[in-house]
Amino acid sequence: MSELKHARFVWPVRVYLEDTDAGGVVYHSRYLNYFERARTEMLRAAGVSLSELKEKHGLTWVVLEINVQYRKAARLDDELRVTAELLRVKGVRQGFRQVMTRVSDGLVVAIAELSTVMLNADTLKPARMPAWIRANLPGADKTNR
């Protein structure tokens, strides 16, 4: 897990027919799915299971806001790489940055910056991210503690 702390996490994604419109271009909402999968896999690689987070620790994670810049269209059969990196932790909020690139030409397809918050799963009141999670996330050495 230590190598995770110093590099952006990268998750491969393939564009399938179900992700596209009749012209073979990815629907705008599917980019959110790709970003979500990369963040979830980043957490898993850092030893955080979202189901165990809820069951064992009584916590859940939600997105407060997301800003996506669409740069190039992703198309049917494109192989994409989606990064995920923790930029900051301030109080109960976390900031992430994600970049999606097309493997064939290296072009940036989309960039997402988002804020998340951890909640108590029963009360839905904000809770601080446990130190054991923050310590293992990519970019954790850059966070405000």
Element (H, E) at 30: helix 28-45
The amino acid sitting at 145 is R
Stated pTM of the model: 0.88
Q: Strand, coil or helix: what is 78? A: coil
Q: How far apart are CA 139 and CA 5, in angstroms?
A: 6
> What pLDDT sits at residue 4?
46
> What pLDDT sits at residue 100?
98
Q: What positions carry a catalytic annotation? A: 21
> What pLDDT sits at residue 135?
83
Residue 51 makes CB contacts below 8 A (sequence gap 6+) with none
What residues in the chain have per-residue pLDDT under 70? 1-7, 140-145
Q: Where are the domains of the chain?
A: 2-142
Q: How many CB atoms lie within 10 A of CB 135?
A: 15
> What pLDDT sits at residue 144?
52
Go through the chain and tell me how many residues it has.
145
Tell which CATH classification among 2.60.40.10, 3.40.50.300, 3.10.129.10, 3.40.50.2300 matches the domain 2-142: 3.10.129.10
